[in-house]
Structure 1
Amino acid sequence: MSEKSRMLRGESYHAADPKLVWERDRAARILHAYNKRVFHEIDMHNRLMRKLLHTEGNFWIKPPFYCDYGYNIYIGKNVMLNYGCVLLDVNRIEIGDDTLIGPNTQIYTAYHAMDPTERKNGVEYGKPVHIGKNVWIGGGAIILPGVSIGDHTVIGAGSVVTHDIEANTIAYGNPCRPQTINRKE
């Protein structure tokens, strides 16, 4: 089995595999071209990003934007990623329709081995991240590998999301936890 297949299955793999290095380099070249251009708002969903990501509708990604491969990122309709987002996509990242992601948000599917010997030998892993529809993630949030965030949820700025967050929830903090909010009608 190839290292790429192992990576996509969430098994241990070696990121130094030549095919994976080549694929990361391809993404880096596309991102370099994207990040160095001066964009107007109407140009944000351009052909460069469509070469890299999976999407079926309008989306806006404000540069700079960074990812590992791009082909593991699935973006719904009317999604906006603000300035400086980092998506480490060694495994699948799904972002639902009408989702807003604040500046400098980081979404990780990648993680290193816990065993020091494996880590020293370059063993890595990945777990998918799923973000539902109509979610708002505040700036500077960090979403860890394997997390799912339900539809219509708000994640507060600066939160570190270490576990699943249910739909229709307001959650924030480090670690991120659902909050009871008294809303005025």
Structure 2
Amino acid sequence: MPQIPETELNPERIAWARENLKNLPEGDAYDQMISGVAYDYTDSNLYMRRLTVHEMTDDYRLLRFRDSNFDVTMHRARRNKFLERILGKMDKSTFIEPPFFVDYGSNISVGKNFYANFNTTFLDCSLITFGDNVLIGPNCSFITVTHPTDPTERAKGLEFAKPINIGSRTWFGANVTVMPGVTIGDGAVCAAGTVITKDVPANTVVMGVPAKVVEHMTPEQFKKENGESK
């Protein structure tokens, strides 16, 4: 079934974003965007944030280890300083391999020990929220934005977005695509090349296009396979 936009603002989501995220664009279009209401992506505040953050991610990619005197701690601190200006919420343990790509950056919230490999793409027109201990393989995409299926509606320049919620201790193999409005439960494993269009239960392995559950793991199995004693 094609997704459809919401018709009203989501006050709870707007309040959460304003209270918990940094680097947010101002204006009504932002509130419409994260609420799932159709919005004009050419809005000046949205456009300025996109242009600014795209240059920030370019600068992040160009940070040189040698410019930190080959000091790992200094280099990591320089990277984190950039990430704090790009992302909405992060922990000092956040590690993202360059290059990576965002629409706004400010709608991304990551927990502790977050790792994303090369060429991760976050189209964060709505909120993308990650728990703790998330591993992301290369070339993965998290897509919140979508468009009307009616071509006459698309021609009006409107789009809308649905949030993505990712639980803790999740793992994404290479080239995974997560589509708008998806929730992925704690401990889930998403096999390489998977396209995820529906919610993924906790402690499961999914694979395929579209994704299907191929294995259920009890919490005890998950702990054993990941070397956890408790």
Shorter-chain TM band: over 0.9
Q: CA deviation at 1:36?
A: 2.0
Question: Residues 1-150 of structure 1: matches in 2 within 5 Å?
Answer: 2-39=28-65, 43-44=75-76, 45-53=79-87, 54-150=89-185
Q: CA deviation at 1:56?
A: 2.9
Q: Structure 1: where are the runs of 5+ without partners?
A: none
Q: CA deviation at 1:37?
A: 2.2
Q: Structure 2: where are the runs of 5+ without partners?
A: 1-26, 226-230
- The higher radius of gyration belongs to 2
Of Structure 1 and Structure 2, which has the larger fraction of its residues in strand?
A: 1
Partner of 1:166: 201
> CA-to-partner distance for each residue in 1:107-164, whole Å, 9 max, x for gaps?
0001111221110111100000011000000010000000011001100000000000
* TM-score when normalising by structure 1: 0.93
Would the alpha carbon gap of residues 102 and 18 (structure 1) be closer, same or farther in structure 2, given more than 3 Å must change? same
Count how many residue pairs are aligned between Structure 1 and Structure 2: 185
* TM-score when normalising by structure 2: 0.76
Letter aligned with residue 179 of structure 1: V
- Equivalent-residue separation in structure 1 for 2:153 and 2:216 (angstroms): 44
Shift >3 Å, 4+ stretches? 38-45, 180-183
The DSSP-based 3-state class of the residue aligned with 1:87 is: strand
The DSSP-based 3-state class of the residue aligned with 2:64 is: coil
> CA-to-partner distance for each residue in 1:81-108, whole Å, 9 max, x for gaps?
0000000000000111001000000000
8 Å Cα contact 1:57-1:76 kept in structure 2 = no
